[in-house]
Amino acid sequence: MRDICELETTYESGFYRKRPIALVRGEGARVWDAEGREYIDCIGGHGAAIVGHANPHVAEAIAAQARRLLVCPGSFCNDVRAELLEELVRIAPPGIERAFLCNSGAEAVEAALKIARLVTGKTRFVAAARGFHGRTLGALSVTWRREYREPYEPLLPGVTFVPYNDAGALKEALAGGDVAGVILEVVQGEGGVIPGEADYLRRAQELCREHGALFIVDEVQTGFGRTGRMFACEHHGLEPDLICVAKGIAGGVPMGAVLIHGRLGPMPPRLHGSTFGGSPLACAAALAAIRFIEEERLPERAAELGAFFLGELRGIASPLIREVRGLGLMVGVELRRRAAPYLAAMAERGVLALSAGATVVRFLPPLVITREELSRVAMVLAEVLR
């Protein structure tokens, strides 16, 4: 394992702070390192491995499509892409009629920001404190954390950050009538696993309608069953103008999309695009992943197991725990100390989790994880907090 890590850190850019673990294989909610050690994976590719590692249905779809056609630009039609677009519209919240296909969550956010400017003719954006939307320049401009933004400033001008779950602050930010879009997560992920309040999110949608701004919902981390519904905005009956999705959409194959409400109509040609967006390979993987999610009722599974897991975590008697919160299998445990040492201690005991800010332990397991595996995860967290 040391040779793999040394080789990678020697030649990789340096942007990533590496853990001293070289993962080489996965199955379901388990992964194995180069030394053969097994872990329960509650990172799940930062939420991308929704249908489990090495899902055989996705793997078979990828292999079959790779033998048939890998690349087909958007200037041509393609059978697999057409089928996926139809499927995305079918499973999307009410009102969604079109989609733009791309390669990642940040690309989906970039496209949504461009669409908002294009459709409204306005330039400003409003985003939430603690929100995270990606690391490309546009997405970074609406991302809260100062340490991510400052090295690259100046970014997009005219971005206002308001407190999350504060409708009054949002109303004030929209008062000028010059806002192209408001972008919010239904559950803030990187910001600490903070669920949005139903009344706040509904009021945000109303305010956008009143002030001529597009309501953009970032479901990159919450989409495709993660929170107990296919899309988290369904918990609150929302009908966003634009929904950004990625991560689990294609079972771990890089893919993203912007789901577009019918009120916006078709976009003008040639004003945006993506060479690899909607490739037949990614589309085949996404079709297989969506079918698996539906056939195995993974949203319902996430709701049931998420409630169980929250109960297990809330049963941990430790003065170090400030709060346990989440929705479905998107769960955070806020500590009274920094999370990093406890994450390392959990990894030593065979459980992988990640942080969400300095003090929150975040769990984003594949939705195929078992009740027994979740019990083991809660037990390990309890052990390291003693």
The whole-number pLDDT of residue 381 equals 98
Task: Sort 51 into a burial class: Cβ within 10 Å, 0-12 / 13-18 / 19+.
Answer: buried
The whole-number pLDDT of residue 2 equals 62
219-243: average pLDDT: 98
Structural contact between residues 385 and 318, judged by C-beta atoms closer than 8 angstroms: yes
pLDDT at 1 over 90: no
In this predicted model, what pLDDT tens digit does every residue of 277-290 receive, in sequence order? 999 999 999 999 99
* β pairing state of 360-363 and 330-335: antiparallel
127-148: average pLDDT: 97
Write down the domain spans for the chain. 2-51+298-385, 57-295
pLDDT band at 183 (very low <50, low <70, confident <90, very high): very high
135-156: average pLDDT: 97
332-338: average pLDDT: 98
pLDDT at 292 over 60: yes
Active-site pick, 218, 224, 231, 309: 218
In this predicted model, what pLDDT tens digit does every residue of 115-124 receive, in sequence order? 999 999 999 9
C-alpha 96 chain-centroid distance: 19
Specify whether 178 is catalytic: no
Active-site pick, 100, 215, 247, 363: 247
- Give every CB contact of residue 337 below 8 A, 6+ residues apart in sequence: 320, 359
Active-site pick, 41, 100, 125, 132: 132
Second-level CATH architecture of 57-295: 3-Layer(aba) Sandwich (3.40)
Structural contact between residues 53 and 27, judged by C-beta atoms closer than 8 angstroms: yes
Average pLDDT, whole number, for the chain? 97
Q: Which CATH number fits domain 2-51+298-385: 3.40.50.800, 3.90.1150.10, 2.40.50.100, 3.40.50.11440?
A: 3.90.1150.10
Read off the pTM.
0.97
* Distance between CA atoms of residues 222 and 230, nearest Å: 9
The whole-number pLDDT of residue 87 equals 98
Specify whether 79 is catalytic: no
Specify whether 218 is catalytic: yes
pLDDT at 202 over 90: yes
Phi and psi angles of residue 23, each rounded to the nearest 5 degrees, phi first: -85, 130
